[in-house]
Amino acid sequence: MALNDATTLPKETPMKTKKIINRGEDAVDEMLDGILLAHGAILARADHPRAIVARHGPREGKVGLMIGGGSGHEPTFVGFVGKGLADAAAIGNVFASPPPDPALACATAIDRGAGVLFMYGNYAGDVMNFDMAAEMAAMDDIEVRTVLTTDDIASAPRDEAAKRRGVAGNFFIFKAAGAACDRMLSLDEVERLARHANARTYTMGVALAPCSLPHTRVPNFELGPDEMEIGMGIHGEPGIERGPLQSADQITDAMMDRILDEMQAAPGDRVAVLVNSLGSTPLMELYIMNRRVQARLSGAGLETHATWVGNYCTSLEMAGASITLMHLDDELTPLIDHPCECAMFRVVA
């Protein structure tokens, strides 16, 4: 039996992409094996092979922070597990939410009587699976709260901001929430600060070339040789504007125009900056973009408190980049500066 309407299918791509993998279906578990071998001093498996916890994170009376989602975005999510940031990550298949079991194993492993906060990007599958896990945790007398990240301003209009998806801004939002947990704040206060961090974080992305899943090794969308797409999601979801490839300054301006318009900052306000590669766009191009980002910030009278440039939230080998600004205030700045020691990210005091 075959799908009967072949006319609606794009024609098969003859060329398979090249990847350094063994079997596609083993990619996620073999990656986790490698991560644990590299970072065993920081990370350990909980009572599920896809539940990764921080060895030195959870402690008596501290709210536990669990993050999670599909694989393929490394260092998001597993790379941000460690003391001072997330206590655990529940790992799904490539670009797919984990089922409830690993999330429940994480919650059980990191609960120290003060409750657990679930944080993840706003996608339908993640919401269903993590909500099921939260219901199961409640049956085990673990108090779970949930804060969804919705930083991708291209994914829905401003008046429907709650429908937006979570992308690279996760990095700042998780960082702030993890610091609040590490400062031993209550679950109520951690939840409030996490929502506050999410509300003040804005991301725009641009895609230049597709990625391919390890199982299929077929590009997951088509983009012409001289085209780019602004606003594309980190799973290749179509964006808001497709057009000819432009210069770094033009692309950066298009993204910064929208971010600054959303952020409504006053001169003198401070921001944290993330210029992120979607996978294969190199540091050279990210730093070229950052040069323009900083020029635009200066032009708007804004001050940059801290800048991160590199691979923080990727889409396998997708080419492209995203810009995230977090609009800092007196509550968020100390949380961003708070030290953390994760497998793939550190902030020193």
Is the Cα torsion angle 57, 58, 62, 68 positive or negative in sign?
positive
Q: How far apart are CA 249 and CA 170, in angstroms?
A: 25
Is 136 a residue that touches other proteins (CB under 8 A)?
no
Which span (99-107, 261-269, 280-288, 290-298) binds other proteins, by CB under 8 A?
99-107
Residue 127 CB: number of other CB atoms within 10 A? 15
Which span (29-37, 106-114, 155-163, 329-337) binds other proteins, by CB under 8 A?
155-163
Taking each helix axis from N to C terminus, what angle separates 248-263 and 283-299, rounded to the nearest 10 degrees?
50
Q: In the chain, at which residue ranges do the beta strands (DSSP E only) sit? A: 43-46, 48-54, 64-71, 82-83, 88-94, 116-121, 144-149, 201-209, 227-230, 241-244, 270-277, 303-310, 319-327, 340-342, 346-347
Pick one of 38, 128, 199, 283: the residue that binds other proteins (CB under 8 A). Answer: 128
Residue type, 192: R
Measured from the CB of residue 236, what is the shortest distance to other proteins in angstroms?
Answer: 6
Residue number with CB closer to other proteins (140 or 188)? 140
Is 264 a residue that touches other proteins (CB under 8 A)?
no
Which span (51-59, 96-104, 186-194, 328-336) binds other proteins, by CB under 8 A?
96-104
CA angle 326/181/188 to nearest 5° reads: 90
Residues 288-327, mask of contacts with other proteins (x by CB under 8 A): ----------------------------------------
Measured from the CB of residue 14, what is the shortest distance to other proteins in angstroms?
Answer: 13
| 39 is an active site residue | no
**Dihedral Cα 84, 85, 90, 96, nearest 10 deg:** -170
Pick one of 45, 221, 295, 308: the residue that binds other proteins (CB under 8 A). Answer: 221
Residues 68-87, mask of contacts with other proteins (x by CB under 8 A): --x-----------------
Residue number with CB closer to other proteins (128 or 199)? 128
Q: How far apart are CA 47 and CA 230, in angstroms?
A: 41
Is 9 a residue that touches other proteins (CB under 8 A)?
yes
How many helices (H) does the chain have, and how many strands (E)? 8, 15
Residue from 222, 231, 219 nearest 153 by CA: 231
Residue number with CB closer to other proteins (208 or 316)? 316
| 73 is an active site residue | yes
Contact 85, 340 (CB under 8 A): yes
Residue number with CB closer to other proteins (221 or 308)? 221
Measured from the CB of residue 210, what is the shortest distance to other proteins in angstroms?
Answer: 9
The helix or strand, by DSSP H or E, that contains position 132, with its residue range, turns out to be: helix 124-139
Which residue in this structure is represented by tokens 């993050």? 67
Is 121 a residue that touches other proteins (CB under 8 A)?
no
Residues that bind other proteins (CB under 8 A): 1-5, 8-10, 12, 25, 70, 92-101, 123-125, 128-129, 132, 155-156, 163, 165, 213, 215-216, 218, 220-221, 233, 235-238
Residues designated as active site: 73, 235
